[in-house]
Each structure stands twice: as structure tokens, then as C-alpha cells.
Amino acid sequence: MERGEAVQGSAPESRPGFPVAVYALRRHAGLGLLLVVTACAVAACDGAPAPAAEAKNDPVLVAVENIAVVRSQRIEHGPVLSGSLRPEQEAAVRAEVAGAVLQTYAEQGQRVSRGTPLARLEDTALRDAFLSAKSSVATAEQAAVVARRNAERAERLAAAGALAERELEGARWNAMSAESQLADARARLALAEKQLGKTTVRSPITGVVSRREVSGGDVVQPGMPLFTVVDPSRMRLEAAVPAEQLGVLRLGAPVRFTVQGYGTRSFEGRVERISPTADPATRQIALIVSIPNAGGSLVAGLFAEGRVAAEVRAGLAIPHNAVDLTGSTPAVLRIQNGRVERVLVELGIEDELAERVEVRSGLSEGDTILVNGARGVAPGTAVRVQKAAAPVRLER
């Protein structure tokens, strides 16, 4: 029994080639290995998985620009259009007679009234023609007076039987011829006076000089452009819409638009004219939008884009980029009690210009929904809105 116990409890001396020290080292080494394995297992259970579990439960941070709050808003629907602004009334002032430009009275941007002189042309030849015509009228008037008196005397003599009928007819003919020559002289005088008046170039409308084409000393011919005068109190937008949307257009429909150079400032006009035919090449319908511009803030030639507000209503609206249209029913991701949930919605009219769409059911005013890149967050995920950092103030 003592020999057997020696084998189980310690290194037996009777075993050749197995020193007691080596046996003890291996025995303790095995025990140490067991302790290391046990310690590692405990560490694995108590330490490593804990951070992973906590990370899994942490809410996902969502930037404030990736959320939207459902609000009741004005929603407009209708054809989108774009075009250029033009003055409602524009007059191209051209030379009506030939001559050298003696003087100009108006500059670009100057406000003028109807009849205001814009320039004066050389008028020597036309003034001479006018004076000659005036003299001819005076001569014709004298001749007509003499002819009328002779005709009256002939009538009296013929009545007394002292004048032959043929002589009476001759007196009458002379009087009629003198009257005809007087009328012709007066017509030539009126024409000469009109031509002379054309040497003073006047504005045909009240407005602003938008262009001046000539300067003093220039020689002009009839038909040459001299000035352009526009009335800026009313503008018009010349635009076109697809023929498919003709059904929603109507005269007088409001049009809201923005203008290049005016930022987000909005302007309003009304549909004044609609073309009865479509452009065969583009299948577009041309239309004219009349725009009041009493303050003169709008400038002709600028590019404008907007929309005919064919349908206007107030209702709940959300951004376009909040709606998931991949399924059979539109859906959005809503934050409810700190978690994301997928909500099916019924959509109404679309406000293309404002990039939002009406929501008829599925959401309530005040609901918070995900937009932009945050739409990739899976339903059921805990989220927290990360507010924008306050601006850093620099010490001076």
C-alpha cells in the first residue's frame, strides 16, 4: 500500500530515469496551465463581451439636418415653368427722316414721358420745304378768293341775262379749280409740317430709356434704330409648359416664381394668354404671364422659374426625400419613443417647386421623421437626435 500511495502522491524512487524534481515541475506546470485557462475563461466572461453588449444598446446618433417635423403647410401643385422677363410695353424708336443727329436729350436709364424729346435731327431741307409749302398755300388762298368772287359776279350777271351760259360755266370751273389747288397746297403744307416735326424725335410712351443707339453727329436714315423705351410698371414672363399639362391651365391662374439675382424672393403674376397651338418640335405650349411691377424692382431680360398654382390647399406636408417608394405603398421612417418605426402613408398632391408632398394619412402634425441619409437606419433601432454644435466664439 505504501508503494501504491507513493505512485499516486509523489515521485516514486523505484521508477528509474524519472527524477523527483522533473515530476514535480511537470505536476506544477499542469496545475499552472489549468489556472491560466481558468483565468482566461473568467476574463472572457467578465470583461470582453461587456463593452460589445453595451455598444449594441447605445442609440444611433442622427444629425438634426437628417430629421423633419411634420407640419401643416400651404401646398401648391401645377406645371413648372421657366422663361425670361420682358416689359409688357416696349417701343423701338426709329428715325423717320434722314439727317444728321444734332443733339440727344436722353440717356440710358432716364425716365421719360410720352412726347418727351429724345433727339433732334438736322432740319434745314425740311424746313425750307415747309416754308415753300406755306407760301404756296398763301398763293392758293388768294387765287381761290379771286375765283370765288368772279364766280359770284358771273352768277349775278347770268341771272340778269347779261352773261352767256358758257361764260358762267367757265367762272364756276375756275372757282372749283382754285379750291382744289388750295386743298392740294394745304395737304402739301401738312405733309411738310409733319416731316419737319419728325426731326424732333419724341418718346411714344411713358417709361424708361433702355437703349440709346446714336450720338450727336451720326447720320441716320429712315428706319434706323435710335432709342428703346420700355414701360417697367408691368412685366411679362414668356414661358412654356408641356402639352400634357394643358388641362390644368386656365386664364387668370396665379403663377409664383423666383428670379435670377433675387435669391429666394418670390414674385407673383397671372396667366394672361395661352397659345392655342403647341410647338411641333418641342410639344410645348407657350403662355404669357402678366406681372405687376409698380415698384420697378424687376428687370427685363432676367431668367425666372416658377409654377402655375393650378391647385392650392393647406395640409400636412413632408419633404420628398423622406418618402420610400420602393414598396407597393409609400412609407416613411418615424421616430417614436426613441426608436425608428416604419409607417405606411397615403400621399396627396405634390409641390414640385418646394420639393414636398402632401400626407393624407399615416402621420400626425408634430411627428418626427427621418430624411436624407438617415433613411438607411433600420426600423427598431434606438436613435437620438444630435443637435448642431454651438458656434465657437473667438476671444479678441
CA–CA dist 357, 191 (Å, integer): 67
Q: When comparing pLDDT for 391 and 306, which is higher?
A: 306
CA–CA dist 375, 254 (Å, integer): 35
What pLDDT does 263 receive? 87
Extract the C-alpha cell encoding 351: 409641390
Residues 66 and 128 in one domain: no
CA–CA dist 51, 94 (Å, integer): 86
pLDDT digits (tens, 9 = 90+) for 334-365: 999 999 999 999 999 888 778 889 999 999 99
3 state SS of 335: strand
Task: Count the domains in the chain.
Answer: 2
Whether 154 is covered by a domain: the verdict is yes
Which range marks the domain in which residue 318 is found?
62-77+313-386
Residues 137 and 192 in one domain: yes
> What angle is formed at CA 331 by the lines to CA 329 and CA 337, rounded to 5 degrees?
145
pLDDT digits (tens, 9 = 90+) for 131-189: 999 999 999 999 999 999 999 999 999 888 888 889 999 999 999 999 999 999 999 99
Worst-scoring range by mean pLDDT, 64-68, 99-103, 127-131, 174-178? 64-68
Out of 172, 198, 224, a domain closes at 198
Worst-scoring range by mean pLDDT, 10-19, 104-113, 204-213, 247-256? 10-19
CATH of the domain at 328: 2.40.420.20
Out of 171, 198, 225, a domain closes at 198
Residues 127 and 193 in one domain: yes
Quote the pTM value: 0.59
DSSP string, 41-74: HHHHHHTTHHHHHHHHHSPEEEEGGGEEE-EEEE
Worst-scoring range by mean pLDDT, 41-55, 121-135, 220-234, 244-258? 41-55
Residues 136 and 70 in one domain: no
> What angle is formed at CA 156 by the lines to CA 155 and CA 158, rounded to 5 degrees?
65
Out of 167, 198, 229, a domain closes at 198
What pLDDT does 1 receive? 42
What pLDDT does 58 receive? 81
H or E element, residue 349: strand 346-351
Worst-scoring range by mean pLDDT, 42-56, 83-97, 229-243, 323-337? 42-56
